[in-house]
A and B are shown apart, each in its own frame.
Chain A
Amino acid sequence: EAQVTQNPRYLITVTGKKLTVTCSQNMNHEYMSWYRQDPGLGLRQIYYSMNVEVTDKGDVPEGYKVSRKEKRNFPLILESPSPNQTSLYFCASSGGRAGNTIYFGEGSWLTVV
């Protein structure tokens, strides 16, 4: 079954405590990305990766880091989380060409207090 798996699904953390949200896909997709979803703002892209070791900023990259050391994994790193990073985060993957179906994970609810 085609899957994009994110962990953790729910997390409450404190300001400044580094955290990593993992993302893994089993479809051998080249393209992976991270989005955040906020009320009234919809889904906004944070970072994306076209392939292993190739990453680039999306629309709202401030405060986030990513890495792509393996094709299947694309972790999102918050080095020093702040309350404005409280959001619902989605990892997504696709085959790498415009028009390819983009598959989303189930989401990670992050609260920074």
Chain B
Amino acid sequence: QKEVEQDPGPLSVPEGAIVSLNCTYSNSAFQYFMWYRQYSRKGPELLMYTYSSGNKEDGRFTAQVDKSSKYISLFIRDSQPSDSATYLCAMQSQGAQKLVFGQGTRLTINP
């Protein structure tokens, strides 16, 4: 079993829809939870970062972490065609530098 599981999609939704992306994990030592966005032929860039459990909001993006269920989510409101990308969840233990990534979900927002 992989440490981090993420549905690779692809996921295709109409412009303006609310998008929900999810990851589950098995390692209870993970304390830092991130979402990276990767456009085609580009490197991943940090989109959202959460420490431990809870919610974090940044504009149209909301990240949620439920450590009791080992489940994290990213919500995108009022989705735009420019949000079309691959979204990767990533996790990190306290004191560790290594990121453990999910497979990534390829998202397309259709105008």
Contacts and interface: CB of A to CB of B under 8 A. Distances in A.
Interface string B22-54: 000000000110001000011111100101000
Contacts of B96: 98
Given A42-B102, A99-B32, A99-B51, A105 B43 contact: yes
Nearest to A100: B97
Contacts, number: 58
Interface of B: 6, 8, 31-32, 36, 41-46, 49, 51, 88, 92-99, 101-104
Interface of A: 4, 31, 33, 40-45, 48, 50, 58, 90, 94, 96-99, 101-107
Given A90-B44, A106-B42, A107-B43, A98 B101 contact: no
Contacts of B42: 106-107
Given A40-B8, A43-B44, A99 B92 contact: yes
Contact of B88 (A42, A44, A106): A42
B46 A101 contact: yes
Contacts of A107: 41-43
Contacts of A58: 98
Contacts of A42: 6, 88, 101-104
B37 to A, nearest CB: 11
Contact of A45 (B32, B95, B98, B104): B98
A101 B34 CA distance: 9
Contacts of A106: 41-43
B5 to A, nearest CB: 10
Contacts of B44: 43, 90, 104
Contact of B97 (A48, A103, A105): A48
B92 A98 contact: yes
